[in-house]
């Protein structure tokens, strides 16, 4: 069946394979696959082209050597199959494809296997938990006949038999590991979620995790487990303990109480050399560091570790004593570049600020100059900002760095006047300006980047890196922490960071809690607080009395002193007033376009090959305001066929194919929901496919779902 891109949406009813909702704790096999099993697929090795790891391979290149789909025929792409998970909630996940089988995740973190040529469901695993956190991918490990899918479901790492979907009983406890354990703290009070898949090296699966960004928070240790048994093999302390390298960059007791400095975005590994590359995020609390004075190694670092032992080889800290939530937000990409006529194996790391850092993979030597620039001190009592921060001199940033009056929106005269009035109340001085008390500071690019978790793609033949970027302005400020021993005090210290002092949030990314009782019951609110949802982490540190009182406060504003509550630490004198996206009264960016871009950068020279706007608002496009770019989540892939595929654009729901040499749009199709995920490319029986998970979910005003769509040329 051949479909044009324009008929894609109308064809879903005929093409979708709906999956039943499963409630059993173990996988259910559908008619024993109605086939002899995965191992007996009749694909020859010459015909089969897998996508066996997150990012395509352990090097995280997002590159496919397939060229059946190319510049000349990409306009003939049509839907080959689609698979509807039957769930809502959105998808940020990328599937993997091994031996003609596609493995994926549903919005509630059920795991499934499909025939990759037809989209036919083979098995589905339900852990019995309803996953509420992002789950961006899976890992695959095999040894002889033992083939396993290693996948995170909330705070657990599961090992599933790849042939049946059943948990491997000899792995951990009944097929899973609880990642809240092995951290040196009470597991029941830790919040850890494996939002990006672990990475496999030999017989190890190495994981990071997502942690809260307010205190208390679990430490973001990097841990390696035996892929056969689930036994912990090594741990790298991202908050160093006594006698460990970097210990002196924190207060002496910080390793006991501080948290995060975690790898939430994913990793890359040089399997031949046995070197693991780990980017980390900021330490908790994100925006005030009076309790963590110092540079705070290994927060905001790219760390090269011995993959076998976890020993540090080298590191680079991109932000010293982070006060702006400037995580390394994406997995690094391994690439070979040319220097003085010689090939140099390198590692590239993109950032929220819009920087690309490039290092020698073995030594950590920068391959483009890095300049340490001085920045103003903090005027907040008890704070001590770092005096210098590192900026790469090449490539030039792929997102604008400074917001001024002449960059405000001109969409309408009214919108411009509103933006100008607001902007003149802000402090806008570029990167690394410490927050002040009571006055909003502009963060540009915003808290979501610049670069984000989708990561970059690199053409291994040309060393051209492709990275998409957000160009949105956000603002934030600090306020005194009153230390109230009350539900309101709990809300202010734990919840107001995202939802604001007045519960108005910053829609659509951070929902308002005003009138939340009309949308959710008290039980639903309590479950969300305990388990988290979307970008909100879990808060297991609340006892029953605190949780009940906080829910009551959210429902009706009642607040009284809590005997069981503890006030904030004495040196946590300030809190963040909330994330505020700089949007005009109609909900559009209050700055001039572009609002999102796709960039091609030659890593041999540091020069840009091309730069285009990515995405548009359909309702503005019909009024003539086209090609503005939009916020975008999910990364690109690049092929030997001369193409860059990317969904990501958050409002137009489009899947795009660009000429990788010029940036020219060659093909696009409309998806049922936004494709906020990185595609995967594979071949079965000599036919090449491009698949993307389309679930939306980032724009809370729009419906969300969970559909996988695979495209191919006509047979």
Mean pLDDT of 75-87: 98
State the pLDDT at residue 625.
96
**Does 397 score more than 60 pLDDT?**
yes
Question: How, if at all, do strands 16-18 and 78-84 pair?
Answer: parallel
451 pLDDT band (50/70/90 cuts)? very high
Spatial contact of 689 and 711, defined as CB atoms under 8 Å apart: yes
**Does 457 score more than 90 pLDDT?**
yes
Q: Give me the residue spans of the domains in the chain.
A: 482-567
Chain centre to alpha carbon of residue 226: 25
State the pLDDT at residue 40.
32
The token duo for 119 is 């989209």
Distance CA 258, CA 251 (A): 10
Which range (99-108, 234-243, 518-527) has the least confidence?
A: 518-527
State the pLDDT at residue 561.
66
The token duo for 610 is 């091309």
Distance CA 96, CA 51 (A): 5
Within 10 angstroms of residue 185's Cβ, the number of other Cβ atoms is 16
pLDDT digits (tens, 9 = 90+) for 109-155: 999 999 999 999 999 999 999 998 899 999 999 998 899 999 999 99
**Does 565 score more than 60 pLDDT?**
no
The percentage of the chain sitting over the pLDDT mark of 90, rounded to a whole number, equals: 77
State the pLDDT at residue 403.
98
Distance CA 340, CA 83 (A): 49
479 pLDDT band (50/70/90 cuts)? very high
Quickly list DSSP for 288-354: --TTS-S--TTTTEEEEEETTT--EEEEEESSSS-SS-----S--EEEEEEETTEEEEEEEEE-TTS
pLDDT digits (tens, 9 = 90+) for 161-185: 999 999 999 999 999 999 999 999 9
Mean pLDDT of 341-367: 98
679 pLDDT band (50/70/90 cuts)? very high
**Does 545 score more than 80 pLDDT?**
no
496 pLDDT band (50/70/90 cuts)? confident
Return the CATH superfamily for domain 482-567.
Cytochrome c-like domain (1.10.760.10)
Mean pLDDT of 509-519: 81
Distance CA 691, CA 581 (A): 32
State the chain's mean pLDDT as an integer. 90
State the pLDDT at residue 34.
33
State the pLDDT at residue 153.
97
State the pLDDT at residue 188.
93
548 pLDDT band (50/70/90 cuts)? confident
State the pLDDT at residue 578.
87
State the pLDDT at residue 45.
43
State the pLDDT at residue 570.
61
State the pLDDT at residue 524.
81
> When comparing pLDDT for 23 and 353, which is higher?
353
The token duo for 186 is 């009470």
Peptide bond into 573 cis (omega under 30): no
**Does 11 score more than 70 pLDDT?**
no
State the pLDDT at residue 476.
94
Helix, strand, coil: what percent of the chain each, to 5?
10, 30, 55
**Does 492 score more than 80 pLDDT?**
no
**Does 569 score more than 60 pLDDT?**
no
**Does 33 score more than 80 pLDDT?**
no
47 pLDDT band (50/70/90 cuts)? very low
Distance CA 378, CA 290 (A): 11
CA distances from residue 186 to 217, 240, 543, 667 in whole angstroms, order as listed: 11, 19, 14, 52
State the pLDDT at residue 568.
53
313 pLDDT band (50/70/90 cuts)? very high
Mean pLDDT of 218-240: 98
Distance CA 15, CA 18 (A): 9
700 pLDDT band (50/70/90 cuts)? low
Distance CA 135, CA 112 (A): 13
State the pLDDT at residue 489.
74
Mean pLDDT of 523-543: 78
**Does 35 score more than 70 pLDDT?**
no
The strand pairing partners of 63, in sequence order, are 638
């Amino acid at each position: 069946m051949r479909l044009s891109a324009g008929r894609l949406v109308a064809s879903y009813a005929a093409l979708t394979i709906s999956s039943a909702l499963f409630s059993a704790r173990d996988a259910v096999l559908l008619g024993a696959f109605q086939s002899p099993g995965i191992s007996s697929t009749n694909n020859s090795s010459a015909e089969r082209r897998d996508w066996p790891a997150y990012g395509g391979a352990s090097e995280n290149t997002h590159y496919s050597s397939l060229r059946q789909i190319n510049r000349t025929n990409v306009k003939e792409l049509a839907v080959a199959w689609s698979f509807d998970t039957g769930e809502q909630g959105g998808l940020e996940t990328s599937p993997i494809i091994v031996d003609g089988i596609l493995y994926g995740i549903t919005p509630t973190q059920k795991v499934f296997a499909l025939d990759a040529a037809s989209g036919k469901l083979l098995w589905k695993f339900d852990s019995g938990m309803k996953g509420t956190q992002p789950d961006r991918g899976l890992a695959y490990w095999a040894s002889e006949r033992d083939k396993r899918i290693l996948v995170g479901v909330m705070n657990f790492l599961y090992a599933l038999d790849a042939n049946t979907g059943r948990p491997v009983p000899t792995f951990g406890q009944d097929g899973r590991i609880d990642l809240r354990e092995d951290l040196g703290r009470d597991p029941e009070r830790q919040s850890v979620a494996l939002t990006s898949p672990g990475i496999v090296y030999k017989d190890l699966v190495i994981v990071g995790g997502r942690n809260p960004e307010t205190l208390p928070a679990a430490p973001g240790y990097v841990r390696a487990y035996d892929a056969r048994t689930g036994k912990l093999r090594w741990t790298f302390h991202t908050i160093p303990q006594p006698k460990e390298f970097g210990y002196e960059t924190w207060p002496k007791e910080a390793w006991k109480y501080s948290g995060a400095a975690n790898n939430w975005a994913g990793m890359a590994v040089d399997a031949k050399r046995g070197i693991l590359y780990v980017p980390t995020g900021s330490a908790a609390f994100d925006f005030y560091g009076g309790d963590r004075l110092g540079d705070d190694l290994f927060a905001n670092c790219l760390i090269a570790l011995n993959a076998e032992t976890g020993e540090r080889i080298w590191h680079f800290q991109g932000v010293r004593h982070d006060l702006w939530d400037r995580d390394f937000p994406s997995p690094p990409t391994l690439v070979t570049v040319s220097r003085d006529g010689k090939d140099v194996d390198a590692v590239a790391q993109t950032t929220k600020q819009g920087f690309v850092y490039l290092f020698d993979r073995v030594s950590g030597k920068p391959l483009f100059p890095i300049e340490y620039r001085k920045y103003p001190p903090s005027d907040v009592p008890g704070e001590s900002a770092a005096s210098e921060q590192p900026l790469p001199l090449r490539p030039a940033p792929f997102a604008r760095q400074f917001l001024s009056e002449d960059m405000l929106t001109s969409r309408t005269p009214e919108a411009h006047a509103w933006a100008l009035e607001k902007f003149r109340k802000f402090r806008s001085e570029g990167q690394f300006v410490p927050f002040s008390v009571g006055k909003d500071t502009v963060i540009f690019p915003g808290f979501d980047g610049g670069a984000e978790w989708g990561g970059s793609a690199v053409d291994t033949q040309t060393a051209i890196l492709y990275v998409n970027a957000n160009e949105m302005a956000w603002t934030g400020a600090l306020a005194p922490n009153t230390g109230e021993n009350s539900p309101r005090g709990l809300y202010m210290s734990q919840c107001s960071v995202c939802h604001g002092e007045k519960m108005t949030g910053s829609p659509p990314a951070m929902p308002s809690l005003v009138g939340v009782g009309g949308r959710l019951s008290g039980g639903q609110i309590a479950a969300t607080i305990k388990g988290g949802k979307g970008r909100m982490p879990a808060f297991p540190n609340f006892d029953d009395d605190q949780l009940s009182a906080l829910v009551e406060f959210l429902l009706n504003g009642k607040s009284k002193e809590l005997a069981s509550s503890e006030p904030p630490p004495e040196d946590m004198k300030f809190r963040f007033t909330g994330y505020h996206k700089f949007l005009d009264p109609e909900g559009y960016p209050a700055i001039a376009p572009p609002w999102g871009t796709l960039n091609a950068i030659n890593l041999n020279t540091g020069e840009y090959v091309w730069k285009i706007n990515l995405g548009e608002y359909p309702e503005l496009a019909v009024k003539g305001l086209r090609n503005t770019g939009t916020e975008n989540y999910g990364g690109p892939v690049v092929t030997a066929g001369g193409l860059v595929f990317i969904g990501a654009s958050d409002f137009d729901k489009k899947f795009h194919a660009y000429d990788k040499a010029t940036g020219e749009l060659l093909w696009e199709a409309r998806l049922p929901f936004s494709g906020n995920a990185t595609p995967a490319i594979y071949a079965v029986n000599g036919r090449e496919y491009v698949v993307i998970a389309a679930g939306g979910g980032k724009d809370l005003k729009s419906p969300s779902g969970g559909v996988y769509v695979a495209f191919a040329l006509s047979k």
